[in-house]
Amino acid sequence: MMERSLRRRLLPSPPPFAEMFTEGTRVLLPSPPPFAEVLTEEGTGLESQRRVPSSVATLRLRSGQASGHGGGSGWRPSLPSPVSTSASLYLRFCVSACLSLLVITLAACGGGGGAPPPPPATLSGTLAYVVSECRATASELTAHQELRVQHGEQAPQTLLEFTVAAAVEAGALCASWGASRSGPSSVDAFPIVRLNISPDGKTIVFEVNDNFSVIAPNQLVSPDQEGMFVMGVDGSGLRRIGPPGREPSFRLAADPSSPLGLGGSTEWWIGFSPDGRTITFIDLGPSCSGVDAAQVFTLDLVTGERRQQTCLEPLQPASPYYPTVFPGNFLDNETIQFSTLSAPEGSAQYTVQTDGSFVLTRRMPVAVPGSQFIPNFIITGPPSNAFGLAVPGLPVNQIPYIQTVVELFMQSGDNLLQLTNFQRSDTSYYIGLLSADRQRVLFEASADPFGTNPNENCQIFSIDVLGTGLRQLTAFDEGVHALGGCVLPEPRGYGCLTALFSVDVHTDTVLWDSPCDPFGQNPNGEQFFVMRSDGTGLRQITNVRGMTTEPDGTVSVELIGPLVYAQQ
């Protein structure tokens, strides 16, 4: 019996690492810790009528109209049921003689004329996500996958379904995946491996590909059902726009430090241009010397033109847990930014124009020998972005195979301002989000600046864009010291992480997914949560089952992810 586990989820990729950043000889050293001010706790057509053998999929499409798919059998529609630029970094010093003030805000309890609780947080945009299920008995493994869309606070609709039967030997993977509580790791095994939604929230792009499935490679779907597809968020206009990729959307490797035995990453991201016409993704293509290697590609959703935008030479993976090139984003309709950990000097971030010129521009400089810190002080402008970047030093926390200090930075034009000084390896590891008024940054960290996170579980914090007013917004805890911090999803009893994803600019609602269980309704799974950027209005918006084990030993798992969110 093959025993493998699905463990680590990166959403969508780790921060671009670099040791230091310079402009000439100007180098940022880590800033003093910000002052703590307030701690607030408050804390989801395709239908084959033929009999399918083991490891072959039965698929059903729920959509308005399928077109242009090439006439493959089984494609029958049915209506649905009801940073950074070259940057100089400026060091902020505290003004108040290195004193930290902590004001703990306590919510009023009970009645007695206290203020009513704030209403729950709400969404106004479009959420697209995948729900995957597996069921392993002593004699068979079956699996089911759905692509769902939710508009605002309406009930979600299922647009696409897959039903899969696989060899019983793969049943151990079902239990391992369930124990990981990592829904996005479904891309390791299930047919939907890449996903995104257009900026206007009207178009979904996804890739169906079983070539790299860990449960049944090349056996889950028929060749005519694989490829890159596009359709409206109401399920209409489904069409195939390209072939399936030759580069896997995940990495798995043995990891003895993990309770599940494996580590890795998932890279399911598809980048959309601001006008919604073009997507970018990573696939194999010829290098400048003619050897296949990971490259940046674009695909025009209107014309169907698929173009290779880089001719990178084969790169040596920096780690077995990461790809050599990470999926990119559009900075504008003609410029793509992407990153790698495998450049000659280590990590690097580049831009490339979409004109097919193959010309790369380095986005993040590194420190040169002999560089010195120059204490220039300026007034920063409006914030444009926030993210985690590596700084010199060794982290005070120990997370397997992550030995770099990552701190939160705010970008304002060509300047970067360091906002945290936790000296940990997982601060803002996935993303930093600006609040709707763009005055605060929300981020994940396992730090304990207030003495309220002694188990170093992953929490959501916020801080203002000048590095003051640090707040801890959540108080998740599984009663044990967390093993994976804000990086590694672990089985229950080893700590739970949170993965911030988006802020709704119309409602100031923060969206994230997590296996944590603040309401006692998520004992062994992963759910979507929302709250306001001040930590109020927390609620769980999905209710998938997670992992359950029946008396006869049958294991059932239902998890969510990947997910994408768009708002006009």
232 strand-pairing partners: 203
Identify the pLDDT of residue 375.
59
What's the CA gap between 337 and 83, in Å, rounded?
9
Per-residue pLDDT of the chain (568 residues; tens, 9 = 90+): 332 233 333 333 333 333 333 333 233 333 333 333 333 333 332 322 333 333 333 333 343 333 333 333 223 222 233 333 333 333 333 333 333 333 333 233 334 456 777 888 999 999 999 999 999 998 888 999 999 999 999 999 999 999 888 776 778 889 999 999 999 999 999 999 999 999 999 999 999 999 999 988 988 898 989 999 999 999 999 999 999 999 999 998 888 877 777 778 889 999 999 999 999 999 999 999 999 999 999 999 999 999 999 999 999 887 888 899 999 999 999 999 998 888 776 678 899 999 988 998 886 555 445 555 555 666 667 888 888 888 888 999 987 767 788 899 998 877 889 999 999 999 997 789 999 999 999 999 999 999 999 999 999 999 999 999 999 999 999 999 998 889 877 788 889 989 999 999 999 999 999 999 999 999 889 999 999 999 999 999 999 999 999 999 999 999 999 999 998 7
* Residue 342 φ then ψ, to 5°: -115, 20
Please tell me the predicted confidence (pLDDT) of residue 389. 83
Distance CA 331, CA 338 (A): 10
User: Given the DSSP bridges, would you call strands 88-90 and 415-418 parallel, antiparallel or unpaired?
Assistant: parallel
Please state, in angstroms and rounded to a whole number, the distance separating the CA atoms of residues 123 and 399: 34
- Domain annotation for the chain: domains and CATH numbers: 22-43+45-82+84-103+126-566 (2.120.10.30)
Question: Residue 262 is which amino acid?
Answer: L
pTM recorded for the entire structure: 0.78
Helix (H) or strand (E) holding 563: strand 555-566
Distance CA 561, CA 223 (A): 24
Provide the CA 76 distance to its chain's centre, in angstroms. Answer: 32
Strands of the 57-61 sheet, one edge to the other? 57-61, 157-166, 141-151, 126-136, 555-566, 546-549
Cα separation of 564 and 509, whole Å? Answer: 15
Provide the edge-to-edge strand list for the sheet that holds 239-242: 192-197, 203-208, 227-232, 239-242
Residue 526's contacts (CB-CB under 8 Å, 6 or more residues apart) are 181, 182, 183, 513, 514, 515, 544, 546, 559, 560, 561
**Token digits of residue 515:** 């296996």
How far is the C-alpha of 107 from the C-alpha of 42, rounded, in Å?
9
Angle at 80 between CA 557 and CA 78, to 5 degrees: 105
Give phi and psi for 25, each to the nearest 5. Answer: -115, 20
